[in-house]
């Protein structure tokens, strides 16, 4: 018997005879979201994220605004369909260096100041975005740079996290890894001193694009 099988057998043995609890879920348990876009904005801002709404012609200006605090930023950009073409020229116009993913590799992403990716879906209920590791995306561009910029199509904002998970379940091919990100990385010690950016980006921008 393998170690895994032995572990599961011990768990089963411990659970024998444990009384089972019947749970009834009320029919009105679901969260109601009247305006997904505005709810998404409110929840994202509440957890420390930054919200931008842009039409295609405005994307360059939004990227330039995000990069303004940097003198000569290194920006890793994924070759995903949801990342507008204007992004790379806007980075260069701001005096930045463009690093393309996956060509840049993990070292390039780690050296970048900003990572720009696509978000597959967003959940208005919590201001959460869903990120995929499937090529041409990857985990490094959204996790290693200190600033993460995610482009999310407005029609891909669903009301609740349950709706978002339904979209995942409906995928024909699921990536090896998906990440549900809700604002910037945060951690706190026993004294409740909040620190951002320990495990992932300290600053997260979600740019919602619309026609």
Please report which confidence band the pLDDT of residue 129 belongs to, taking 50, 70 and 90 as the band edges.
very high
DSSP letter at 112 equals -
Distances (CA, A) of 36 to 14, 157, 206: 44, 7, 14
Q: Any idea what the Cα angle at residue 12 is, between residues 11 and 17, rounded to 5°?
A: 115
CA atoms within 13 A on the CB side of 151: 26
pTM above 0.75, yes or no: yes
**pLDDT in the model for residue 1:** 61
Is residue 26 predicted with pLDDT exceeding 90? no
| Each residue's pLDDT tens digit, 68-84 | 999 999 999 999 999 99
- Lowest-pLDDT range of 29-38, 104-113, 140-149: 29-38
In this prediction, what percent of the chain has a pLDDT beyond 90? 74
Is residue 4 predicted with pLDDT exceeding 90? no
């Amino acid at each position: 018997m393998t170690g895994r099988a032995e572990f599961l057998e011990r768990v089963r043995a411990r659970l024998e005879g444990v009384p089972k609890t019947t749970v009834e879920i009320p029919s009105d348990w679901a969260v109601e979201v009247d305006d997904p876009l505005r709810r998404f904005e409110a929840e994202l801002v509440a957890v420390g994220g930054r919200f931008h709404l842009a039409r295609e012609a405005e994307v360059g200006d939004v990227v330039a605004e995000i990069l303004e605090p940097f003198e000569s930023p290194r920006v890793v950009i994924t070759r995903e369909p949801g990342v507008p073409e204007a992004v790379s020229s806007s980075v260069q116009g701001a005096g930045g260096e463009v690093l393309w993913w996956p060509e840049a590799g993990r070292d390039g992403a780690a050296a970048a100041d900003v990572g720009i990716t696509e978000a597959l879906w967003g959940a208005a209920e919590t201001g959460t975005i869903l990120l995929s590791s499937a090529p041409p995306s990857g985990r490094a561009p959204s996790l290693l740079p200190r600033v993460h910029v995610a482009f999310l199509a407005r029609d891909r904002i669903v009301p609740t996290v349950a709706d978002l998970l339904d979209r995942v379940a409906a995928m024909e091919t699921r990536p090896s890894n998906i990440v549900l990100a809700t604002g910037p990385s945060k951690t706190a010690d026993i004294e409740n001193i909040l620190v951002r950016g320990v495990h992932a980006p300290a600053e997260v921008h979600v740019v919602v694009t619309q026609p």
